[in-house]
Amino acid sequence: MKQIAATCLLLCSTLLSAQGIHIEPPNWWTDMPGHSVELLIHGQHDIASVTVQGQGVKVMTDSPANNPHYRYVTLSISPEAEPQDLILAIDYAGRHRSKKVNYELKARDPLIHANMGLSARDQLYLVTPDRFVNGDTQNDVVRGMKERAVNRQDDYSRHGGDLSGLASQLDYIQSLGTTAVWPMPILENNMHGQSYHGYAITDHYAVDPRFGGLESYQLLADQLHQRGMKLVMDMVLNHTGSMHHLFQDPPDSNWFNAWPLSSNKGDEQTLSLRSSHKYQGIYDPYASKDDVRRFTDGWFVPSMTDLNGRDAHCAQWLIQNSLWWIETVGVDAFRVDTYFYPDQAFMRQWTAAIHAVYPEFFVFSESWTHDAHSQAYFLNSQPALDAGADFLIYHALKSVMEEPASWTTGPTKLYAALAADYLYPEQAKDMVIFLDNHDEGRFMGKIDGNMKMYKVGLGLLYALRGMPCLYYGTEIGYDAVNDHGAMRQDMLGGFPGDQGSAFRGEGLTETQQEALAYVRQLGALRHQETLIGTGKLMQWAPDGGAYALAWYDDKEVLIVIINVDETDRQWDMSRFSELGIDQGQSARSLLDEKVMTIESSQHLPAQSIRWLKITKD
């Protein structure tokens, strides 16, 4: 049914374009909370007025934009209104003939929201769609797109991966323990170069045709939901690509911050202000107003135009676009890119608006901070924000894996990072935790291919509070660390001519096979051990490179102990006595499936991890 709807939407959009009319959002629903929608209507000529014909629908406001080719039209939709095709009469100024166009009001589909939201029990899988699987070579090159070729030899060109390819490997993805798939942005990026990554959106209501279009996205959502899995949509509210139609012909220059000194036809614009990327000014009591402006209003890069959420019409456009994607596709969560760059009052407005319509929906932020108080500020100043990508834990895990133990580094840094959860106790359990991602170097590369430390790092990640997020390829030990294009490497077996396949387990080195088997084991254990994320959590101060935490309730205890030193250590097991752990008790070692007896001390080999499960008497 949703595929039929996608086809109808494409047909309606094509017909409107043929008449020189563009309307956003392209459709709405009869029974949405608020019972109104603001249409952004663009015509070939100056628009004088807009009227509507329909049952239970009327025009509340009909306002001109600064650009006379645009009109802001707010429709009031009665709670009793039925699904229908409205008729919008668009009257042009001067001698131009008026146009009449259909605008569809749909009935909502409650079934697509049955699986909505994320929780501490979920496991995420982050994918760069262009680099995962090429499921349809026919959409590699699409007429009308500015980047007209695929070139797998160039790390920054498109390689041809798409959404049908992603959907074709859901068996593999699910075998890793994944419950939620997070593709990097899939909306149209019609830029001249580097359009593969998705963060320079040029049409907020279109899935990039090189990914397969809206129908492929809806099929992916349907197939995930049939498996009881979830879909995370990567949202970009801070900026658009410079080729976006709203930047090329804006309703008002106020839609964009720091309007360029001059525009050109290329991707990169001549800027009047580029972001300082120094977020501290937002909460700094001594901050210069100019510094704050440079951060929030400056452009991220010259090819990404900075949206102004302080403009009421721009804000409403972004809010409605987000609601449209939830309602159209049934996405279950948003990851919000560059969350602290836009105006923070707008971000509060946006997040509250999402939850007003979808209380169970989950929103987590990319707030790339480097310390506990900054992370706490951006979580606590956004009361409707569910959680964030946990960069504090990420930096702590980096230290555990890459730096020698000291008073401030190694396991002590993780110990301190978890202790800081008191600053955001409501969000802590649902934070998204990770060892690498699409912006940071691959974990295996940062530990120089050390399989022992690979197992310690991932074993610790899957034992921590929060939702573990695996970046595709980490499960087979991808190791690029210095270059974004290289870090977003093609998935082995996803492209014609590949010598081997991670999906089929063919052509893998012994190290890759070992890594993949270990990730699958951890994913299964995280599902099996329901204490993780639901029980109580306790941690113990590190002893050199040794560190322990435990999940527990009245009946069971799951102890996780690591030693990252290059020499063996002993752990005093009496430190667990307050949990009712005594010498002589039996414990199951979950990672090697052995049974052991608790003694006065636990021998910890160099660079090792133990998961010990104990059932209380």
Within the chain, what is the greatest distance between any pair of CA atoms? 94
Contact predicate 491/485, CB 8 Å = no
Pairwise CA distance, residues 446 & 317, whole Å: 42
Contact predicate 229/328, CB 8 Å = no
pLDDT per residue as tens digits for the range 314-334:
999 999 999 999 999 999 999
**What amino acid is encoded at 405 in this protein?**
A
pLDDT of residue 260: 74
C-beta neighbour count of 265 within 10 angstroms: 8
Query: DSSP of 431-450, one letter per residue?
Result: -EEES--SSS--HHHHTTT-
Mean of pLDDT values over 493-520: 98
Beginning with the edge strand found earlier in the chain, give each strand of the sheet holding 556-563 in spatial order.
Answer: 536-543, 546-552, 556-563, 608-615, 586-589, 594-597
Contact predicate 86/16, CB 8 Å = no
Contact predicate 255/316, CB 8 Å = no
The Cβ-side half-sphere exposure at 214, using a 13 Å CA radius, reads 21
Please give the structure tokens belonging to residue 369: 């901070």
Catalytic residue among 155, 203, 234, 337: 337
Contact predicate 390/466, CB 8 Å = yes
pTM for the structure as a whole: 0.95
pLDDT per residue as tens digits for the range 378-421:
999 999 999 999 999 999 999 999 999 999 999 999 999 999 99
pLDDT of residue 258: 85
Could you give the 3-state DSSP secondary structure of residue 544?
A: coil
Cα three-residue angle 267-272-273, rounded to 5 degrees: 95
Q: State how far the alpha carbon of 310 is from the alpha carbons of 65, 202, 256, in Å.
A: 16, 21, 10
The residues pairing with 47 across neighbouring beta strands, listed in sequence order, are 92
364: part of which helix (H) or strand (E)?
A: strand 362-365
Q: Which residues contact 12 (CB under 8 A, 6 or more apart)?
A: 26, 27, 102, 104
Mean of pLDDT values over 64-74: 98
Helix axis angle for 451-461 and 391-402, nearest 10°, is 150
Contact predicate 548/540, CB 8 Å = yes
CB under 8 A, 24+ apart: contacts of 352-356: 352/383, 352/384, 353/319, 353/322, 353/323, 354/319, 354/322, 354/323, 354/326, 354/384, 355/384, 356/33, 356/34
Q: Which residue has the tokens 């109808």?
A: 8
pLDDT of residue 6: 56
Least confident of 255-264, 300-309, 524-533: 255-264
pLDDT band at 7 (very low <50, low <70, confident <90, very high): low
Mean of pLDDT values over 138-142: 97
337 among known catalytic residues: yes
pLDDT per residue as tens digits for the range 262-316:
666 678 888 888 999 999 999 999 999 999 999 999 999 999 999 999 999 999 9
Pairwise CA distance, residues 62 & 72, whole Å: 6
Count of helices and strands (H, E) across the chain: 16, 28
Q: Which residues contact 248 (CB under 8 A, 6 or more apart)?
A: none
pLDDT of residue 110: 85
Is residue 14's pLDDT more than 90?
no
Catalytic residue among 136, 162, 366, 390: 366
Smallest CA-to-CA distance from 604 within 428, 433, 411 is with 411
Contact predicate 472/184, CB 8 Å = no
The Cβ-side half-sphere exposure at 298, using a 13 Å CA radius, reads 15
* pLDDT > 70: percent of the chain: 96
Pairwise CA distance, residues 217 & 515, whole Å: 30
* β-strand pairing of 432-434 with 569-572: unpaired
Average pLDDT over the chain, rounded to an integer: 95
* Domains of the chain with bracketed CATH: 2-108 (2.60.40.10), 124-242+307-528 (3.20.20.80), 536-615 (2.60.40.1180)
pLDDT band at 18 (very low <50, low <70, confident <90, very high): very low
Pairwise CA distance, residues 237 & 255, whole Å: 12
Mean of pLDDT values over 144-154: 96
Smallest CA-to-CA distance from 421 within 363, 379, 457 is with 379
- Give, as one character, the DSSP assignment of residue 254: G
CA dihedral 566, 570, 574, 579 (to 10 degrees): 40
Could you give the 3-state DSSP secondary structure of residue 263?
A: coil
pLDDT band at 15 (very low <50, low <70, confident <90, very high): very low
Pairwise CA distance, residues 238 & 347, whole Å: 10
Mean of pLDDT values over 505-529: 98
User: What is the radius of gyration, based on Cα positions, of the chain?
Assistant: 26
Mean of pLDDT values over 345-363: 98
The residues pairing with 270 across neighbouring beta strands, listed in sequence order, are 262
Could you give the 3-state DSSP secondary structure of residue 489?
A: coil
Mean of pLDDT values over 604-615: 98
Task: Spell out where 249-350 has E strands.
Answer: 304-306, 333-337
408: part of which helix (H) or strand (E)?
A: none
Is residue 599's pLDDT more than 90?
yes
Please give the structure tokens belonging to residue 282: 């937002």
Q: State how far the alpha carbon of 127 is from the alpha carbons of 185, 302, 421, 466, 487, in Å.
A: 10, 25, 28, 19, 12
Least confident of 94-103, 124-133, 156-165: 94-103
pLDDT band at 3 (very low <50, low <70, confident <90, very high): low
Could you give the 3-state DSSP secondary structure of residue 486?
A: helix
Position with higher pLDDT, 285 vs 96: 285
pLDDT per residue as tens digits for the range 554-586:
999 999 999 999 999 999 999 999 999 999 999
